[in-house]
Chains A and B, each alone.
Chain A
Amino acid sequence: MNEEKIKHKGPFAEFWHRLKKNKLSLVGLGILVFFIIIAIFADRIAPYGYAEQHLDKTFLLPCKEFLLGTDNLGRDIFSRIVYGSRVSLKIGFISILLAITAGGVLGCISGFYGGVAETIIMRIMDMMMAIPNVLMAIVIASVLGTGVSNLIIAIGISSIPSFARIVRASILSIRDLEYVEAARLSCCSDFRIISKHILPNIMAPVIVQATLSLGLAILSASGLSFLGLGVQAPIPEWGAMLAAGRSYMSSYWHLVVFPGCAIVLVVLGVNMFGDGLRDALDPRMKG
């Protein structure tokens, strides 16, 4: 049906056509979009406020009034999960954006110019990579203190090296191609060569890495909040909700089951979409 349109629509349509063939990735995209919509309209979807307490109705099991039950302060778990999607997605997206920007700039400098700058930047990246990601995030988060923005910074910084490496490696592979030479000969500035000629051609691996890192970022954010190093009460972060519910889980399973399901669902969606993107954008990268 779309075959004819593709011919006129260019690379994006072709990519969409390939992505559409992969059912799993469409499901993943659907889940992701679903959570984004929930996050945007959280205040309309949630029946109660995230900090609204019903002290006479604590520890209720799922029922008509409270879809997923209530916690130790009588707060509606469903509403808290709905609001929590805002926090988790915000942390995930912004921290990856931060990592792409910083890692991209560092990768461009070291890939395009080479020389001393490359050596220094890449050695520093090697050193950062010698420390496992999560540990790096834990150390940075503990130094900066708790809070959403500090968590974003911690996760963002710890994911910089992987982006710097990917951008550098991709630039190295196309830096000496003819069209870059041609751009140089026609007196383009370095900035123009990088932004107009090089970056559009290395976007595929970066986008794939970004999607797969998004899932990891959401997982780390909930892990750090679970350890008490991330988002603090009463902000409804899923990991923090699990940590709070843990003390009561011997008698009230619903406090720890549902927030966890939300994490699993989002990360599953992101990963499925990421796998599909990888196959559609760059058939050579399999994993």
Chain B
Amino acid sequence: MTRYILKRLLMLIPVIIGVVFIVFTIERLSPNDPIRSVLGDMASQEEVDAMRNEMGLNDPFFVQFFNYAKGIVTKFDFGVSYVDRQPVVEMIKNRFPITLELAIFSTILAGLLGIPLGIISAVKQYSLLDNVCSVLALVFLAIPEFWLALMLIIVFSLHLKVLPASGWYGIRYMILPIIATGTGCVAGIMRTTRSNMLEVIRQDYIRTARAKGLKENVIIYKHALRNALIPVITLMGLQFGKELGGVFVIETIFAIPGIGKMLVDACSIKNIPVVQGGVIFIAVAFGIVNLIVDIVYGYIDPRIFASYKRKAKKR
């Protein structure tokens, strides 16, 4: 198992190097001078030139890339923000906990609602509840989360005045953003749980369990659910990974100082070091979440671990 995790972590390295290179290249393709865009039109050409020199933007492309990569590897230095010269690592460190909270809570919401609804829909297929849930899931998957956020603000903040519409200072501030990000995930998870449950409960071993005279609850929750959960866990992991990267629009609407808002702000003024650092951080987080998901598989379905061991022995 440790070998497997180590191998996966090693496999992340080339991907990260590639991501650094891709982002670095894309950012250098910009037709406009980023320094000009950060300093504004009022700045004199001398100021712009001085800052370009300071940030090393006049060096050849590969020298810039090499210096950047060297900074990351040797000093864990992702450069400084063009705007206030704050180190990018510090910025990410300050903002990540907030994004993490949002991601954890909305994933929990999605799992707590989506999985039971999916199970019930599958068990009572074609019932009224199943039909209502399926239609609602389709509709919620089509709703852009930023529009849902606006509607929630109109109803709960502007008219009922029960919940705040911006900031991130405590539980009350979290409710609307969590609902706005989580609802789409609830729908996705519900649909995946339902379709997988439907597939599993038609299999022979479930019929065997019924024939043994087991209680329906035991059959569903102990025998069927474990096999049906694997794709659901994948989906939840994917969602969680995406949310770790910041829910760009939601964080912007609710003025939540997380990674997503940082990236959107940085993108709109071409604050390149922040964009680069943020994207690399997200890619790493995404990779690690995927690895954790694969490990969780093993605990839900022991056959997966067994097959790793067999492969390792063959070698």
Binding site for B on A (CB under 8 A): 24, 123-124, 126-128, 130-132, 134-135, 138-145, 215, 219, 222-223, 226-229, 239, 242, 246, 249-250, 253, 256-257, 260, 263-265, 267-268, 271-272, 275, 286-287
Contacts and interface: CB of A to CB of B under 8 A. Distances in A.
Nearest to B259: A135
B51 interface: no
Contacts of A145: 31-32
B15 A135 contact: no
A132 B142 contact: no
B142 A215 contact: yes
Contacts of B192: 287
B100 interface: no
Interface stretch (B218-226, B279-287, B303-311): B279-287
Contacts of A126: 15, 18
B29 interface: yes
A128 B22 contact: yes
Interface string B14-39: 11101100110011011110000000
Among B191, B199, B253, B279, max chain A CB count under 10 A is at B279
B30 to A, nearest CB: 4
Nearest to A272: B138
A229 B265 CA distance: 11
B141 interface: yes
A132 B151 contact: no
B197 to A, nearest CB: 12
Contact of A271 (B32, B138, B249, B253): B138
A268 B19 contact: no
B144 interface: yes
Given A135-B279, A143-B27, A242-B147, A267 B142 contact: yes
Task: Give the 4 A-B residue pairs with the shortest CB-CB distance, closest first.
Answer: A127-B18, A142-B267, A260-B147, A268-B142
Given A260-B144, A268-B139, A132 B195 contact: no
Given A143-B27, A223-B146, A242-B146, A268 B138 contact: yes
Interface of B: 14-16, 18-19, 22-23, 26-27, 29-32, 138-139, 141-144, 146-147, 150-151, 153-154, 158, 191-192, 195, 199, 241-242, 245-246, 248-249, 252-253, 263-264, 267-268, 270, 275, 279, 282-283, 286-287
Contacts of B19: 127, 130-131
Contact of A131 (B27, B141, B283): B283
A275 B192 CA distance: 13
B248 A134 contact: yes
13 contacts: A127-B15, A127-B18, A131-B22, A131-B279, A131-B282, A131-B283, A132-B286, A139-B279, A140-B26, A142-B267, A249-B158, A260-B151, A271-B141
A83 B187 CA distance: 30
B287 A130 contact: yes
Nearest to B16: A130
Contacts of B283: 130-131
B209 to A, nearest CB: 23
A228 B268 contact: yes
Contact of A132 (B143, B249, B282): B282
A78 to B, nearest CB: 18
B158 A135 contact: no
Nearest to B246: A135
Given A127-B15, A226-B249, A286 B144 contact: no
A219 B144 contact: yes
Contact of B270 (A128, A134, A142, A253): A142
Contacts of B241: 132
Between A124, A139, A140, A267, the greatest number of chain B beta carbons within 10 A of the residue's beta carbon is seen for: A139
Given A131-B282, A134-B248, A143-B26, A223 B144 contact: yes
Nearest to A265: B142
B144 A263 contact: yes
A272 B191 CA distance: 13
